[in-house]
Structure 1
Amino acid sequence: MAELTGVYDFTKDNFRVSADMKKNFEDDGYILVREFFNDKEMTNLRKVFEESDLVDKHGLKVGDGSGKKTKIALWTHPGSDVSGMMARCDKIVNTCEELLGEEVYHYHGKLLYKDAFTGGAHLWHQDYGYWYRNTCLFPNMMTVFIAIDKCARTNGCLQILPGSQKCGRIDHVMVSGQMTATAERVEAVKNVCPLAYVEMEPGDALFFHCNLLHCSSANDSPDRRWAYLIAYNTKANNPVVPHHHAQYTPIQRVPNSAVEECTNYTDFTDKEFLTGHESKLTSKFDKSET
């Protein structure tokens, strides 16, 4: 089992991606920034998901093969609620652009919510395993995983294979309603990229490459595990074919203070929620697939 190496602390006044962070991202496929969002920012974010009808109205369920369901709500554009301010704020956009080396845009956002005792597993996959099928030609993409609750091994925290992004895209197949990397290849990769558990406190943020293999187990504990994930694509990697996630749309940036100052918890105008899980995809290049 591997220890997390690319772990950093957020500094409010002068945070930016250092040479060490960039090397960690290139070598291991991720960096973890502790306390990237403070208590006030996270309190504001929770109001969006806990005090609105977002989950009830837009939540989806997908099986994990064990009888449990993974729960997810997805949207295309950031919008102007607190979650949108978070996705558009300088510190998160700047970090993504410095890690990827070019302009990024909001590809989609999602709430992953594993409730106590019932939350299902997310099987081993690469995000680019999905996004390749969406006609994004290059793996110049990434995800930011923001812990809303404490994420521990007991409640299904993220598991990663550091360095696995260097394997390139791995074939994915449909298993129990989820697109998952082929099991034999994942087991082989584990031998050279030992597994690491990403245990996080609320407000911590994991920035990871779209080819990094990751999964999470079911939540059999009495503690829920909610997380907010934001996917970013690069401007030059605009998908060839329009689909259910965003084409290039310039980010309307906001200052970091906007996350604390925003009082919009319920107006989700322009977010464009998805009505089906993103694993229900077909290749846009192979017209014989249905």
Structure 2
Amino acid sequence: MQLTPQQLEEFEERGYLFFPGLFSREEIKTLTDEVPRLYAQHRPENIREKHSGAVRTNFAAHMYSDPFARLARHPRMIKPVEQLFGEELYMHQFKINGKNAFDGDVWQWHQDYGTWFNDDLMPTPRAMNVAIFLDDVDTTNGPLMFIPGSHKLGVLDAGHDTTTTSYPLWTINNENIRVLVEKAGGRNGGIVTPTGPAGSMMLFHSCLVHASGSNLSPWNRVSVYLSLCAISNHIRRHKRVEWIAHRDFTPITCLPDDCLTRSYPVDLPWAKGTPASAAVTSEDRLAEAA
């Protein structure tokens, strides 16, 4: 899948691209059939909501789940980012965000690169998110909200919020968000919420400011996110556990385009459990050396 000149121009201006219904219902069913099994497991890769206990995020499913390992190598997700960066990519982060009906909590206003820089020492914003809707997304079930063009401002001041939800984020304060939204158009386009059917795909810049509200509807809103980083831009610090920030910088090799409807062999190195080494961080090593 190659982006057109018009799409490249749109991405440069807005910081994101949206492809409604890019994956078929058959392809998405391969993934949705697997999600309950992943969420039911008591693995450290499952981060649960602070109050309800529902899975907020499942990390690194591509390391132990065959369908998601194939998705992690899908050319419709990988090739557009290779085109934008002009080099090969590695998987910085792989997550399935579960905004379950009635229980899905908020994601505060933030830039992903803010966390990747502060926690992982990723040198530059040469990393990108590609997301697939596993459920239909509308205005009622907690869709992502973007501030168009905010990626052009680079890295913004952020504070480390460790209390609002079960997952710490480097978040942007309300006053700065108010200013950003007004500059982007206020009520006339200062916040956009891409919605569409299951199988829709979004591609967005790592500096694009975004958030999502809670899901109080009776409909799930589960999405998969591939955080793809240029090989030359790999992280320099391993402060976080490996299932959250990967340390293998091997370039991704794509499978054929039909890899969600046909079985192709993939490596599943964590199929028998998360290795102990994945939980060891650079801070642990410093403590051992002290």
TM-score, scaled to structure 2: 0.81
The aligned runs of 1:3-82 (5 Å cut-off) are: 15-50=1-36, 52-58=37-43, 59-63=46-50, 71-75=56-60, 78=63, 81-82=66-67
- Judge conservation of contact 2:88–2:252 (CA < 8 Å) in 1: no
Q: What is the identity, as a one-letter code, of the residue corresponding to 1:253?
A: C
1:11 matched residue in structure 2: none
2:94 matched residue in structure 1: 109
The aligned runs of 1:253-272 (5 Å cut-off) are: 253-262=254-263, 269-270=269-270
2:246 matched residue in structure 1: 246
| Partner SS state of residue 20, structure 1 | helix
Instruction: Specify which of 222, 230, 234 is matched with residue 230 of structure 2.
Output: 234
Runs of 4+ in 1 over 3 A off after TM superposition: 53-56, 66-70, 76-80, 267-275
2:144 paired with 1:148: no
Q: What is the identity, as a one-letter code, of the residue corresponding to 2:216?
A: D
| Partner SS state of residue 232, structure 1 | strand
- Structure 1 gap segments, 5+ residues each: 1-14, 276-280
2:76 matched residue in structure 1: 91
TM-score, scaled to structure 1: 0.81
2:216 paired with 1:220: yes
Instruction: Specify which of 205, 218, 222 is matched with residue 201 of structure 2.
Output: 205
Q: Aligned partners of 1:255 and 1:160: how far apart in 2?
A: 31
- Judge conservation of contact 1:77–1:246 (CA < 8 Å) in 2: no
Instruction: Specify which of 184, 194, 198 is matched with residue 175 of structure 2.
Output: 184
Q: Aligned partners of 2:79 and 2:152: how far apart in 1?
A: 24
Q: What is the identity, as a one-letter code, of the residue corresponding to 1:246?
A: H
Q: Aligned partners of 2:143 and 2:35: how far apart in 1?
A: 19
Q: Aligned partners of 1:126 and 1:214: how far apart in 2?
A: 7
- Structure 2 gap segments, 5+ residues each: 185-189
Greater Cα shift, 68-77 or 104-113: 68-77
2:187 matched residue in structure 1: none
Q: Aligned partners of 1:49 and 1:76: how far apart in 2?
A: 9
Greater Cα shift, 40-49 or 248-257: 248-257
CA deviation string 1:248-278 (max 9, x = no partner): 12213211111111389xx954378699xxx
Q: Aligned partners of 1:172 and 1:274: how far apart in 2?
A: 33
Q: CA deviation at 1:200?
A: 2.2
Q: What is the identity, as a one-letter code, of the residue corresponding to 1:173?
A: G
- Judge conservation of contact 2:150–2:207 (CA < 8 Å) in 1: yes
- Judge conservation of contact 1:70–1:121 (CA < 8 Å) in 2: no
- Judge conservation of contact 1:170–1:182 (CA < 8 Å) in 2: no
Q: Aligned partners of 1:141 and 1:61: how far apart in 2?
A: 26
| Partner SS state of residue 106, structure 1 | strand
Query: Structure 1's 79 and 90: CA in aligned 2 closer, same or farther, altered over 3 A?
Result: farther
Q: CA deviation at 1:78?
A: 4.8
Q: What is the identity, as a one-letter code, of the residue corresponding to 1:182?
A: N
